[in-house]
A and B are shown apart, each in its own frame.
Chain A
Amino acid sequence: MPVSSTAPRRPLLSTAGARQFVFDPQRGPKGDVLVLVFLRGGMDGLHVVPPHGDAAYRKHRHALAVSEPGKGNGTRNLDGFFGLHPDLAPLHELYQDKQLAVVHASGSPDRTLSHFEAMQTMERGVADGNVTATGWIARHLAATTPESPTPLRAVAISDVLPKSMQGAIDATAVRSIAEYRLNVPDQWEDPFRKALGRMYATGSDLASTAGRGTLKLLTKLDRLDPAQYRPEGGAQYPEGDFGSGLKQVAQLIKADIGLEIAEVDLGGWDAHAVQIQLMVGLMQQLGKGLHALYSDLGERTKRVTVVAMSEFGRRVNENGSLGTDHGRATAMFLLGGGIRGGRVWGRWPGLEKEQLDKDGNLQVTTDYRDILGEIVDRRLGNPQVSRVFPEYEPSYLGLTA
């Protein structure tokens, strides 16, 4: 028998005459789009959401105490006990509209007080960051199947893939969505793309199918020139990487490219000294940024959940440099149509000396996995929470609608 007659068939440039495969990369995810904002550096929960109703608050915080509600530029009252720092005023509006929830005294079991260890623990979704090397988002993606393969299932607007996404093939880190493009010389752009389009036009094999999806996505992203983008709903994103990252996430969500998870980080919260000056700009960016994203997304916020979290909070006592050192529990922000907002969740452990841990830190009364686990299950539509957060059984607070 001649070898050639039984030789394996390979698609050459394209599989000519092949059946046209129905491929629609536009179908969105089944659950919410999750926007994760990691506040790197250890955000002081007592500064952003001061417990003005706890008499011990002012025993610990003197120079750093936020003014009481009602006074000048005072705390924006949330529930009579907690308030919101005035520089986070845009979030107060969302809280009043019951779109924003706070979980106070939340955190991880990590006791190292090391940024690296604590971030790793949270991003890997475990109690000890050394037990696994995959991120919780990666495990969530692995446990669910997108309706159609998309190169941009999870995106981090960042230089490197965050640890939460490590281990996921369908996650991408881009400094800007403008980077997700064909990297050819200008004079090639048009002919090269057309040639790819012709080569990938007809095959029914996996590569041809995926190639058509990629080319369609590129065409869509062409229209998403970040410089030309006009946010809706009067949204005004703050200047800088954080605002621009959120704006691009809004673009991607609106483009219906199958984006399920986006991460945009805001770092610099490590306020060991002159905390007030250091945090003003960060809080303004956070407040304005999330407010702008929310306004921009409009009706779509019904299917979007935003989580802003930090690796740990700060020591309850201020230090000698008008700052605070590494602590344990902090506050977490949740935003979205599916979040039962207008409420501060969690059990308050108290700030009296005997209520703090032996190092003088606010105790963690809500494990971060209780919150994320509920969101993964109830908002992202993935019941396999034990695969996402192994060796942990989250108790849901009931903060999702």
Chain B
Amino acid sequence: MRLTRTQFLGLSAAAAGTVSLSGCAALVQRYATPEVPDRVGEADADPVVWRVLNRAMFGPRPGDVERVAGVGVDAFIEEQLAPERIPEDWASSLRVGTLDTLEMDAEDARDWEMSNFPEVGKGQAAVELQQACLIRAVYSARQLQEVMMDFWSDHFNVSQLKADCSWLKTVDDRLLRKHAMGKFRDLVSASAHSPAMLFYLDNDKNRRRDAGGDGPNENYARELLELHTLGVNGGYSLKDVQEIARCFSGWGFKKGLTWKPGDFEFRAGQHDDGSKHVLGTLIPGGQGVRDGEQVIDLVCHHPSTARYLARKLCRRFVADRPDPKLVARVAGVFERTDGDIRQVLSALLHSEEFKHGGAPKLKRPVEYAVSAMRAVNANSSCAGVLPHLERMGQLPYKWTMPDGYPERPEAWAPGLLARWNFVVELVQGRLAGTSVPLDRLARATRAAEPLPVLQGLSRAVLGKAITETGIRSLVGEHMPKAFPKTEELQAWTALLLASPGFQYR
């Protein structure tokens, strides 16, 4: 009996209450297959539609161009700005459901790992989170939210490579997702209380000078200012860093006799309860844990923070060197709305500069791999993509420095060979746990002759038909006479994905 998708979903939900699909990888692979639309690549994409799909999302899947053009760009942006109202694509939720540790707390994830992978010892839970990151980027219907998760994961970088962050990051990721489209202050506060961040930036060790241990630790205080809020030129002094470190002294997380990281814990005995001066404001003595809360208020409402965040978002969405006028406008919205990320993004994404301005942006490796998988409607567990991303230089959550994976394009220029090798394996179906319906895609171009098939594929990958020169570059001298064979389709698609044009979004 062959189940329809709806029947399958109903069955599994009825059987398990909550959908837990461990061990059902084969079933998921079968029933979470993304559908190929009937018609693909009939016309060049509208450039604004193409821009939105490539920058507010992880690139178009077959059919997306027509769908967005149908509802209209502005309506589509509005839809994406309210992820809670978008029904999740079950290609995404089914696959995420196969992962065991995603909803666990850090200790359970660690126990799970110890009992299931004693010989490996470390890393499997971390791999599950990386896999989930890719699954959501490729398949989630809440694409803008996932783009923002990519942004925030770098902004509030926590590397799984730092000891216990291997498990703590899984919890941290849930905290960030909860506020990814909410208020900026809530994000900063969630991050400041997150055991992963407390451990990663050593605030767990930060204590009053005479309270034992190594005394004050300025690591979190400095990065809070430099990377999370005001920015490096945001107008603060070393004294501010030191005073903020005093404010956060005693902020840690619960630990048991064995390894048992729990929630946030304020250790009054380690807190420096004297008065402090932070960014020109007096923080009176005797406030205890409220010192830190007041610092979060101060830094989130600082005008430098609005400018720094606005510029960073404009760099991500519009251009490596964004127009200062646009940055000022977006910063204004940030200030007026008390850092409401949804409204900030709304101003940015509805702007003329976003739709029409700016130079092409080089895709980072995750953007490249995910957009390639989306372009060809790959059916993938995403596990096989991870080693390739490592070679391309951007394995999720592995960046070790607190500044997150770089945005500057020069950083990624040396990694092209790894990109080319990835797309070749992808289209040839050599990637573990992955298949690509190239033949169906080619038939959906509704063409019988080789050239129109190629043009249909080009529209799916690059948004438009290629020029005469482009065709000669790609095919060489020998255009096949009949409908292209599978191997020809593979080579063409791989070359389209490997082309300079597809390196940009």
Contact = CB atoms under 8 A, between A and B. Distances in A.
Interface string B415-429: 111001100110010
Nearest to A10: B360
B362 A170 contact: no
Given A133-B162, A195-B474, A8 B358 contact: yes
A274 to B, nearest CB: 27
Nearest to A167: B400
> Mostly helix, strand, loop or mixed at chain B's interface?
helix
B442 to A, nearest CB: 18
A13 B466 contact: yes
Given A167-B399, A195-B474, A205-B500, A8 B413 contact: no
A151 B415 CA distance: 6
Nearest to B411: A169
A3 interface: yes
B500 A15 contact: yes
B476 A132 contact: no
A220 interface: no
Given A195-B473, A200-B500, A132 B400 contact: yes
B163 interface: yes
B417 A182 contact: yes
B55 to A, nearest CB: 10
Interface in A33-87: none
Contacts of B414: 149-151, 153, 169-170, 210, 213-214
Interface in A157-183: 166-167, 169-170, 172, 180, 182-183
A225 B272 CA distance: 64
Contact of B413 (A11, A132, A206): A206
Interface stretch (A95-103, A184-192, A247-255, A339-347): A184-192
B235 interface: no
A397 interface: no
Nearest to A196: B498
Contacts of A198: 472-474
A16 interface: yes
A198 B475 CA distance: 10
B467 interface: yes
Nearest to B469: A16
Interface string B288-316: 00000000000000000000000000000
A208 B428 CA distance: 24
Nearest to B48: A3
A166 B425 CA distance: 26
B484 to A, nearest CB: 14
A203 interface: yes
A139 to B, nearest CB: 9
Interface in B37-52: 46-48, 51
Given A12-B462, A199-B474, A207-B500, A133 B400 contact: yes
Contacts of A182: 417, 420-421, 424
B236 interface: no
Contacts of B495: 192, 195-196, 199
Interface-centre pick from B163, B358, B467, B504 (highest chain A CB count, 10 A): B504
Size category of the B interface is 35 or more
Interface in B61-77: none
A28 B210 CA distance: 52
Nearest to B398: A166
A211 interface: yes
A261 B412 CA distance: 19
Given A3-B46, A191-B491, A184 B474 contact: no
Interface string B90-113: 000000000000000000000000
Contacts of A169: 393, 406, 411-412, 414-415
Contacts of B498: 196, 199
Contacts of B409: 206
Nearest to A139: B401
Contact of A16 (B358, B421, B467): B467
A134 interface: yes
Contact of B360 (A153, A188, A205, A210): A205
Contact of B504 (A11, A130, A200): A11
A211 B425 contact: no
A209 interface: yes
A9 B410 CA distance: 20
Contact of B473 (A3, A172, A199): A199
Interface in B154-169: 159, 161-163
Interface in A93-145: 130-134, 138
A8 B416 contact: no
Most A CB contacts (10 A, CB to CB) among B421, B425, B464, B501 go to B501
Nearest to A25: B414
A192 B474 CA distance: 8
Interface string B338-369: 00000000000000000111111010000000
Contacts of B237: none
A29 B137 CA distance: 39
A4 interface: yes
A14 B499 CA distance: 8
A218 interface: yes
A194 interface: yes
Given A207-B416, A211-B416, A14 B500 contact: yes
Closest 7 CB pairs of A and B: A7-B47, A133-B400, A210-B413, A198-B473, A207-B503, A13-B470, A151-B414
Given A7-B47, A9-B360, 11 more contacts: A3-B48, A8-B51, A14-B500, A183-B421, A184-B424, A188-B491, A191-B476, A192-B424, A195-B475, A195-B476, A196-B420
30 contacts: A3-B48, A7-B48, A8-B51, A8-B357, A12-B467, A13-B467, A13-B473, A13-B474, A130-B163, A131-B202, A133-B159, A149-B413, A149-B414, A169-B406, A169-B414, A170-B414, A180-B417, A182-B417, A182-B421, A182-B424, A184-B494, A191-B491, A192-B424, A192-B494, A192-B495, A195-B475, A198-B473, A199-B495, A206-B409, A214-B414
